[in-house]
């Protein structure tokens, strides 16, 4: 599971991605509708991902985040100095007990791009119950869209008569005198 939180001038958002052993991806993102710090957003994102993993009845989970504070506080390597984060850390510990095996690993921001993009997207959009986007599916295109719809035919291209006129100086047989002027 990869997670990330985003706090910016347009709002706050959280995102997490579960990657299953068979290669399936499940992404979840949420708009945070309360004022929060980046630290709180990171905890919220991690909790969102853990809750999704619990819903899928995952028993073994590797958790990756690019925010040192959340990872190292969860591992017990850093003390929690901000009192607002204590309930988050305690709740996260309770969720972790639902797994037979769980690990938390700090990863680079580059390896966490998808979770970061989800969190940033959620922070920037105005979401209401009427415009929820479920599910969000992102695919990889292998070519331009218009190439998939062009059909090959034996017909001459639209510019064939113009090309012939430029090469030979002769007008097409179906052209009248008025068209000669336009074509010239």
Q: In this structure, what CATH number is given to the domain that contains residue 87? A: 3.30.420.10
pLDDT of residue 10: 83
Closest CA to 45 of 138, 114, 135: 114
Q: Which two tokens stand for residue 177?
A: 């005198």
Number of domains within the chain: 2
76 lies in the same domain as 105: yes
Give the Å distances, CA to CA, from 131 to 122, 128, 161, 182.
Answer: 12, 6, 51, 52
pLDDT of residue 155: 74
Upper half-sphere CA count for residue 86 (Cβ side, 13 Å): 4
173 lies in the same domain as 83: no
pLDDT of residue 60: 96
* Segment-wise mean pLDDT, segments of 10 residues, the chain, 184 residues: 92 93 91 88 94 95 92 89 90 94 93 91 76 58 55 72 84 80 73
- Residue 140 in domain: no
User: What's the distance, CA 124 to chain centroid?
Assistant: 13
Q: Which two tokens stand for residue 181?
A: 């002027």
Its domain, for residue 156, covers 146-183
Q: How many CB atoms lie within 10 A of CB 118?
A: 26
33 lies in the same domain as 69: yes
- Residue 139 in domain: no
DSSP secondary structure letter of residue 121? H
- Residue 154 in domain: yes
- Residue 160 in domain: yes
Residue with tokens 């979770």: 115
- Residue 137 in domain: no
Upper half-sphere CA count for residue 83 (Cβ side, 13 Å): 0
- Residue 81 in domain: yes
127 lies in the same domain as 167: no
Query: In terms of pTM, does the model score above 0.95?
Result: no
122 lies in the same domain as 178: no
Distance between CA 25 and CA 46 in Å, rounded? Answer: 16
Identify the bridge partners of residue 103 per DSSP, sorted by sequence position: 62
């Amino acid at each position: 599971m990869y997670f990330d939180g985003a706090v910016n001038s347009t709002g706050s958002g959280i995102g997490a991605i579960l990657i299953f052993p068979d290669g399936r991806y499940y992404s979840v993102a949420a708009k945070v509708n309360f004022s929060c710090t980046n630290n709180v957003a990171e905890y919220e994102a991690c909790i969102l991902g853990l809750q999704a993993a619990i819903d899928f009845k995952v028993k073994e989970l590797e958790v990756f985040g690019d925010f040192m504070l959340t990872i190292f506080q969860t591992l017990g390597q850093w003390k929690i100095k901000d009192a607002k984060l204590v309930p988050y850390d305690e709740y996260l510990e309770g969720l972790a007990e639902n797994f037979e095996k769980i690990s938390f690993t700090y990863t680079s921001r580059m390896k966490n791009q998808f979770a970061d993009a989800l969190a940033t997207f959620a922070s920037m959009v105005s979401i209401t119950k009427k415009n929820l986007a479920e599910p969000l599916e992102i695919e990889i295109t292998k070519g331009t869209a218009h190439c998939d719809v062009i059909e090959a035919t034996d017909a001459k291209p639209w510019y064939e008569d113009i090309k012939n006129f430029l090469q030979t100086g002769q007008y097409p047989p179906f052209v009248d005198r008025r068209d000669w002027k336009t074509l010239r």
